[in-house]
């Protein structure tokens, strides 16, 4: 969420200023099914007009001339065409082998093929260049990529004692009853990806849960200097019965991807897109406790992620009292959009509402892990935070539990099970714009 200063301040619940003016344009080249893949076209454009002409691509050639004429300082494909996606469980499972050869198998292509990042040259207005590119018949879309903001806020009154008995949310979502049921599977064989501000790999309550940590941000260290990603990861999978502070909702392994910079002047849409697509073939669930304006490239990439069999869970946003904007990616129809509730099952005052909301989960005074090293806030090891950022990982972890019990379920089937089993909040009908299907109930979802 943008705030009066350009840095990320997670403790603000609204974007009170406009996002900074970006000097980057994202464009997607259209692809002839009989020709090279979109990734190959993007690579040709990046090599200049001659490279595009060799591929027989008029759009790439015109794009390259923008570079040669000084309107852009660089044009690069968002995804490396020589590095195909890993095998996936869904409709994209056959793509990896064909992508390596520059052509998609059986004429099929991913939606995120053909994306290029254009760094705008001095003296060129980015919006004007984006409009010019969008008007080219061989360009599907061109736009200025919006920054993604995190939806977590430190609870103003915190109690630093790291006791699992303070995790009121577990009772609200009937987690104890779910664990006590015969045949309960803690999801230790499931991987949940967290694209966020990073993770404290040295936190004693998280060490055993981390499967892989990847920093996709060039020029920024691996540490989680914001703390948001560490807090989200703890809600999902902090150690259970390990004699330490808290426990996560499940025992899934965490694929942590650092894609949100400490300073939003260093925001990189390309790095964020790469983090999203890296999830394909590596995780079963993706948690996105972030959001912002509509981003066509993000939508294309997340459709690929979902087609690969990954359940995508996203936070609704914390800006109800500041205009209640529609936040993406939560507003995507195939994404599970999560709002926040308090200890009385009331919608949190900050939690955005809308027709696209699927379910709500606890998001007020949520105790979880925070970095053990110095970071933006004083509370180390554990702290209670507020936000739809805290609600979403409860649902992501519940999705992991559903997949553990019902392997082979599609993302749509998992979301349907979570919503159909949710508890209707008193006085609210299912489908309410503030509560969706109701509050998450793990016991019912696993019944």
CATH number (domain holding residue 356): 3.40.50.200
User: Which of 107, 127, 143 represents a domain boundary (last residue)?
Assistant: 143
Integer angstrom CA distances of residue 161 from 171, 202, 246, 365, 444: 19, 20, 10, 13, 31
Domain contains 14: no
Q: What are phi and psi of 442, to 5 degrees?
A: -65, -40
pLDDT band at 48 (very low <50, low <70, confident <90, very high): low
Instruction: Determine the Cα–Cα distance for residues 145 and 118; give it in Å rounded to an integer.
Output: 11
Domain contains 259: yes
Residues marked active site are found at: 196, 228, 389
pLDDT band at 175 (very low <50, low <70, confident <90, very high): very high
For residues 48 and 165, membership in a common domain is answered with no
Domain contains 2: no
CA atoms within 13 A on the CB side of 221: 7
Q: Is residue 276 predicted with pLDDT exceeding 70?
A: yes
Domain contains 15: no
Give 374-416 pLDDT, tens digit per residue.
999 888 999 999 999 999 999 999 999 999 999 999 999 999 9
For residues 213 and 122, membership in a common domain is answered with no
Query: Encoding tokens for residue 342?
Result: 């308090």
pLDDT band at 38 (very low <50, low <70, confident <90, very high): low
Of the listed ranges 32-41, 43-52, 68-77, 126-135, the one predicted with least confidence? 43-52
Question: Which pLDDT score is estimated for 51?
Answer: 43
Question: Which pLDDT score is estimated for 31?
Answer: 72
Q: Which domain holds residue 284?
A: 149-445
Domain contains 18: no
For residues 218 and 134, membership in a common domain is answered with no
Out of 75-84, 115-124, 424-433, give the one with best mean pLDDT: 115-124
Number of structural domains in the chain: 2
- At how many degrees (to 10) do helices 411-420 and 388-405 cross? 110
Give 201-234 pLDDT, tens digit per residue.
999 999 999 999 999 999 899 999 999 999 999 9
Instruction: Determine the Cα–Cα distance for residues 338 and 358; give it in Å rounded to an integer.
Output: 6
Instruction: Determine the Cα–Cα distance for residues 133 and 49; give it in Å rounded to an integer.
Output: 16
Overall average pLDDT of the 171-189 stretch: 98
% residues pLDDT > 70 (the chain):
79
For residues 38 and 77, membership in a common domain is answered with yes
Q: Is residue 162 predicted with pLDDT exceeding 80?
A: no
Domain contains 435: yes
User: Which of 111, 143, 175 represents a domain boundary (last residue)?
Assistant: 143
For residues 184 and 92, membership in a common domain is answered with no
Query: Encoding tokens for residue 360?
Result: 């709500």
Of the listed ranges 31-40, 275-284, 413-422, the one predicted with least confidence? 31-40
For residues 109 and 228, membership in a common domain is answered with no
Question: Which pLDDT score is estimated for 56?
Answer: 44
Of the listed ranges 55-64, 177-186, 239-248, 427-436, the one predicted with least confidence? 55-64
- At how many degrees (to 10) do helices 269-278 and 296-307 cross? 10
For residues 155 and 132, membership in a common domain is answered with no
Integer angstrom CA distances of residue 279 from 9, 287, 288, 307: 26, 11, 12, 12
Integer angstrom CA distances of residue 427 from 13, 388, 419, 432: 27, 22, 18, 10
Question: Which pLDDT score is estimated for 30?
Answer: 84
For residues 76 and 181, membership in a common domain is answered with no
Q: Is residue 39 predicted with pLDDT exceeding 90?
A: no
For residues 304 and 405, membership in a common domain is answered with yes
Q: Is residue 250 predicted with pLDDT exceeding 60?
A: yes
CB 280 within 8 A of CB 92: yes
- pTM for this one? 0.86
CB 246 within 8 A of CB 205: yes
Question: How high does pLDDT run on average in the chain?
Answer: 85
CB 252 within 8 A of CB 190: yes
Cα dihedral 81, 83, 87, 90 sign: negative
Q: Is residue 287 predicted with pLDDT exceeding 50?
A: yes
For residues 74 and 203, membership in a common domain is answered with no
For residues 136 and 283, membership in a common domain is answered with no
For residues 168 and 269, membership in a common domain is answered with yes
Domain contains 228: yes
Q: Is residue 90 predicted with pLDDT exceeding 70?
A: no
User: Which of 96, 120, 143 represents a domain boundary (last residue)?
Assistant: 143
pLDDT band at 22 (very low <50, low <70, confident <90, very high): confident
Question: Which pLDDT score is estimated for 94?
Answer: 41
Q: What is the CA 67 to chain-centroid distance, rounded?
A: 31
Overall average pLDDT of the 16-33 stretch: 73
% residues pLDDT > 90 (the chain):
68
Domain contains 289: yes
Overall average pLDDT of the 164-170 stretch: 85
Overall average pLDDT of the 70-85 stretch: 80
CB 172 within 8 A of CB 362: yes
């Amino acid at each position: 969420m943008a705030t009066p200063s350009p840095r990320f301040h997670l403790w603000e619940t609204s974007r009170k200023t406009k996002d900074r003016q970006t000097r980057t344009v994202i464009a997607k080249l259209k692809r002839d099914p009989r020709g090279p893949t979109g990734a190959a076209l993007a690579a040709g454009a990046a090599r200049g007009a001659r490279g595009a002409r060799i591929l027989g691509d008029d759009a790439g050639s015109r794009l390259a001339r923008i570079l040669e004429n000084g309107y852009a300082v660089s044009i690069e494909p968002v995804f490396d065409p020589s590095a195909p996606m890993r095998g996936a469980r869904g409709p994209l499972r056959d793509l990896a082998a064909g992508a390596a050869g520059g052509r998609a198998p059986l004429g099929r292509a991913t939606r995120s093929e053909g994306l290029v990042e254009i760094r705008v040259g001095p003296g060129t207005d980015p919006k004007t260049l984006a409009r010019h590119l969008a008007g080219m018949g061989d360009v599907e879309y061109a736009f200025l990529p919006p920054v993604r903001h995190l939806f977590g806020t430190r609870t103003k009154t915190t109690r630093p004692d790291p006791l699992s008995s303070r995790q009121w949310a577990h009772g609200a979502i009937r987690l104890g009853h779910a664990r006590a049921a015969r045949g309960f599977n803690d999801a230790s064989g499931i991987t949940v990806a967290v694209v966020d501000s990073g993770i404290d790999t040295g936190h004693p309550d998280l060490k055993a849960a981390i499967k892989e940590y990847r920093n996709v941000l060039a020029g920024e260290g691996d540490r989680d200097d914001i703390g948001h990603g560490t807090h989200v990861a703890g809600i999902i999978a902090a150690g259970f019965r390990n004699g330490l502070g808290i426990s996560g909702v499940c025992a899934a392994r965490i694929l942590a991807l650092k894609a949100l910079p400490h300073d939003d002047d260093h925001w990189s849409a390309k790095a964020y897109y790469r983090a999203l697509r890296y999830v394909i073939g590596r995780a079963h669930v993706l948690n996105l406790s972030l959001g912002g304006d509509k981003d066509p490239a993000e939508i294309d990439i997340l459709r690929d992620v979902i087609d690969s069999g990954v359940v995508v869970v996203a936070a609704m946003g914390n800006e109800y009292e500041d205009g209640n904007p529609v936040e993406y990616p939560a507003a995507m129809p195939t994404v599970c959009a999560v709002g926040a509730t308090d200890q009385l099952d009331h919608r949190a005052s900050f939690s955005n509402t809308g027709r696209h909301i699927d379910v709500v989960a606890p998001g007020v005074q949520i105790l979880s892990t925070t970095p053990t090293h110095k970071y933006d806030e004083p509370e180390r090891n554990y702290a209670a935070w507020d936000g739809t950022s805290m609600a979403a990982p409860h649902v992501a972890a519940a999705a992991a539990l559903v997949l553990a019990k019902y392997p082979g379920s599609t993302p749509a089937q998992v979301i349907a099970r979570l919503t159909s089993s949710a508890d209707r909040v008193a006085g609210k009908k299912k489908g309410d714009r503030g509560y969706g299907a109701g509050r998450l109930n793990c016991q019912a979802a696993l019944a």
